[in-house]
A = this chain, B = another copy of it.
Amino acid sequence: MQIIRTIKDMQALSRNIRDEHKTIGFVPTMGALHEGHMSLMKRSGDENDFSIVSIFVNPVQFGPNEDFRQYPRDIEGDLNKLSSIKVDIVFFPDDKEMYPDGFSTSVNIGSVGEILCGASRHGHFNGVATVVAKLCNIVMPHNAYFGQKDFQQTVVIKKLIKELNFDIDVIVCPTVREHDGLAMSSRNIYLNHEERKAATVLYRALKLGEDLISSKGLVDALYIKNEMKNLINSGPVSNIDYVEIVTTEHLEKVEKIKSPVAICIAVRIGKTRLIDNIITTGIFPFATDYQT
């Protein structure tokens, strides 16, 4: 496993790999790797000749009052984990390499980045789009792998790749969960013992929503969201940022559920903001309206 620190070296390597007609799989990460990341890397390793992982805590996707400074960084632990699976190259640039003095370019993804998480994290998804555009040009992958846990991010990145015409396939992999359903996240380490127990409310609320839609056949999004909110608010340390039911492609809010939807939630558990989602396919021809 090779560790590359400069853009120039990374591009030279990727150019050589492509010149030899080998495929490149790419997993961009911010480090603090967990089983969710590992599942992406396993898939990238399986599906490509070369698998490249980037580790870069991207400053431009954090707001001024967010956790950029305290975001968990553990490069030794990360490299240790990576050595156990098929990863050929780790691209690990520093901030100045990615954003030298005078840097001013940004990619603006439009309204899909301003709702859900984008409503409380202003500019976040433009920061994501900017770094992903950069990383795609640096790593030059054929396939790029993202986790469904960051569902809005996957929508933003698919849109970026499609609209700026990157010749890259985006592959979204299932959310990996703890035994009790909590979605794997680098931010889970912020949780104390009590919060860790309370944090399962995200998954429980999502399963409730999924059950109301897919098993009970309810279609009234407002009712379903309220049931979910009631469950979340019954927890001791949870504070809802949003509970939304949206279309899977454009994240448009749904009132009457008629086709597959994403149930997306963001909840503060203590000071830690966690997100999660479930996509429900439902059995929509049989769905019936719920009379409240």
Binding site for B on A (CB under 8 A): 7, 11, 15, 18-19, 21, 102-112, 129-130, 133-134, 137-138, 140, 159-160, 163-167, 250
Contacts and interface: CB of A to CB of B under 8 A. Distances in A.
Return the 8 tightest CB-CB contacts between A and B, nearest first: A104-B110, A105-B163, A137-B165, A106-B108, A138-B165, A134-B165, A137-B166, A11-B167
Contacts of A167: 11, 15, 137, 140
A132 to B, nearest CB: 10
Contacts of A107: 105-108, 164
How many chain copies? 2
Contacts of A11: 165, 167
10 contacts: A104-B109, A104-B159, A104-B163, A105-B107, A105-B129, A108-B108, A130-B164, A134-B165, A137-B167, A140-B167
A25 B164 CA distance: 20
A107 B134 CA distance: 12
Contacts of A108: 105-108
A201 to B, nearest CB: 34
A109 B105 contact: yes
A19 B160 CA distance: 25
A91 B167 CA distance: 16
A138 B134 CA distance: 16
Contacts of A7: 165
Most chain B beta-carbon contacts within 10 A, residue among A11, A108, A163: A163
Contact of A250 (B18, B102, B130): B102
A84 to B, nearest CB: 30
A100 to B, nearest CB: 8
A111 to B, nearest CB: 6
Nearest to A110: B104
Contacts of A18: 18
A292 to B, nearest CB: 34
Contacts of A250: 102
A103 B148 CA distance: 23
Given A104-B163, A137-B166, 14 more contacts: A7-B165, A15-B167, A103-B163, A105-B107, A105-B110, A106-B107, A106-B110, A107-B107, A107-B108, A108-B108, A133-B133, A133-B164, A134-B164, A140-B167
